[in-house]
């Protein structure tokens, strides 16, 4: 057990070291998009709008936090792993070491989780400043952390199955970008026709934004969504192991 934890940390260690060189730009770039959304949607479009009891700004902030956690965790994990695999070619060194595949996957997930957590908490702080009535409860933080971890696993999985830089940017444009807009981040899913709703509930980000919003606005907490999110995490983890087993021994 202790060995496993040490192994996971060793895998994480090199990513942390690597991040030390460019952490400032990494954080700043990850905040640009969500801040633009906050301004454009929160103030620009939704200025006077109310959704139910709350202002649109209060409604959209948890959505933007979910989106930040999603894109930063996913990209943080996926881009580093792709760099390891195709640019540094150092991923082989990991596969050749005595570290188990489980520890490799867990370790490679941590850099995305860390980056996602830092960026979403930064956005959250901005949100709390703009909208002091938001409730940042332990439950909110739990949901946020689970989201970061699951989306980071998603990134590791995709970086393992997609074998080229080109494929990665295609995936980003066809899957990641639409998800950031559609998964209940900017609008309430209640307004949608039934089939669209079902389709969106199949995506993990929907469950993250529902959980975070419920926690922040004091709605009944959707435990099922948190559970589904964890289920996605397990599925991605298994996917990673299967992908790794396919090629290496």
Partner 1 sequence: MEEFIVAERLTKKYGNINAVDGLDLVVYSGEIFGFLGPNGAGKTTTIRMMTTLTKPTDGRVHINGFDVVHDACKVREVIGVVQQHISLDRDLTVRENMEYHARLRRLKPAERKKRISELLDYVGLSEYADRMVDALSGGMKKRAAIVCSLIHNPKVLFLDEPTVGLDAQGRRRLWDLVRRLNSDGTTIFLTTHYIEEAEALCRRVGIMHRGRLIALDTPLALRRKLGLIAVETIVGNRETHYQFFADRAEANRYVQSLPPDVGTVIIRESNLEDVFVVQTGEKVGGG
Q: How far is the CB of 84 from partner 1 (least distance, A)?
A: 8
Nearer to partner 1, 4 or 169 (CB): 4
Q: Which residues bind partner 1 (CB under 8 A)?
A: 3, 6-7, 9-11, 13-14, 17-18, 21, 84, 88-90, 92-99, 247-249
Nearest to 185 by CA among 146, 212, 217: 212
Nearest to 205 by CA among 62, 85, 2: 62
Q: How far is the CB of 236 from partner 1 (least distance, A)?
A: 23
The Cα 215–Cα 247 span in angstroms is: 42
Nearer to partner 1, 13 or 219 (CB): 13
Q: How far is the CB of 120 from partner 1 (least distance, A)?
A: 26
Nearer to partner 1, 1 or 249 (CB): 249
The Cα 185–Cα 208 span in angstroms is: 9
The Cα 189–Cα 128 span in angstroms is: 24
Beta strands in the chain (DSSP E): 50-51, 54-55
Q: How far is the CB of 88 from partner 1 (least distance, A)?
A: 5
Nearer to partner 1, 9 or 201 (CB): 9
The Cα 208–Cα 141 span in angstroms is: 12
The Cα 216–Cα 213 span in angstroms is: 5
Nearest to 114 by CA among 71, 152, 65, 68: 152
Residue 88 · residue 95 · CB < 8 Å: no
Residue 208 · residue 66 · CB < 8 Å: yes
Nearest to 119 by CA among 167, 158, 66, 172: 66
Q: How far is the CB of 8 from partner 1 (least distance, A)?
A: 11
Q: How far is the CB of 79 from partner 1 (least distance, A)?
A: 13
Nearer to partner 1, 3 or 135 (CB): 3
Q: How far is the CB of 118 from partner 1 (least distance, A)?
A: 20
Nearer to partner 1, 103 or 206 (CB): 103
Q: Hey, which residues does 51 pair with through a beta bridge?
A: 54
Rg (CA), the chain: 18
Nearer to partner 1, 92 or 135 (CB): 92
């Amino acid at each position: 057990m202790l060995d496993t934890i040490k192994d996971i940390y060793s895998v994480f260690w090199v990513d942390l070291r690597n991040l030390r060189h460019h952490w400032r730009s990494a954080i700043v770039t990850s905040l640009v998009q969500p801040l633009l959304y906050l301004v454009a949607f929160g103030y620009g479009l939704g200025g006077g709008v109310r959704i139910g009891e709350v202002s649109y700004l209060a409604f959209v902030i948890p959505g933007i936090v979910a989106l930040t956690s999603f894109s930063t965790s996913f990209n943080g994990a996926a881009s580093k792993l792709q760099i390891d695999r195709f640019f540094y070619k150092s991923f082989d060194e990991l596969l050749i070491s005595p570290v188990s595949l489980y520890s490799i996957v867990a370790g490679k997930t941590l850099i995305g989780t860390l980056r996602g957590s830092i960026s979403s908490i930064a956005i959250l702080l901005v949100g709390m400043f703009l909208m002091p009535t938001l409730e940042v409860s332990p439950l909110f933080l739990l949901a946020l952390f689970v989201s970061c971890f699951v989306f980071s696993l998603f990134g590791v999985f995709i970086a393992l199955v997609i074998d080229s830089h080109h494929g990665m940017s295609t995936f980003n444009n066809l899957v990641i970008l639409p998800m950031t807009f559609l998964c209940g981040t900017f609008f309430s899913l209640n307004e949608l026709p039934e089939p669209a709703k079902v389709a969106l509930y199949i995506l993990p980000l929907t469950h993250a934004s529902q959980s975070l919003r419920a926690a922040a606005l004091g709605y009944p907490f959707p435990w099922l969504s948190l559970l589904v999110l964890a289920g996605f995490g397990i599925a991605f983890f298994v996917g990673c192991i299967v992908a790794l087993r396919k090629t290496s021994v």
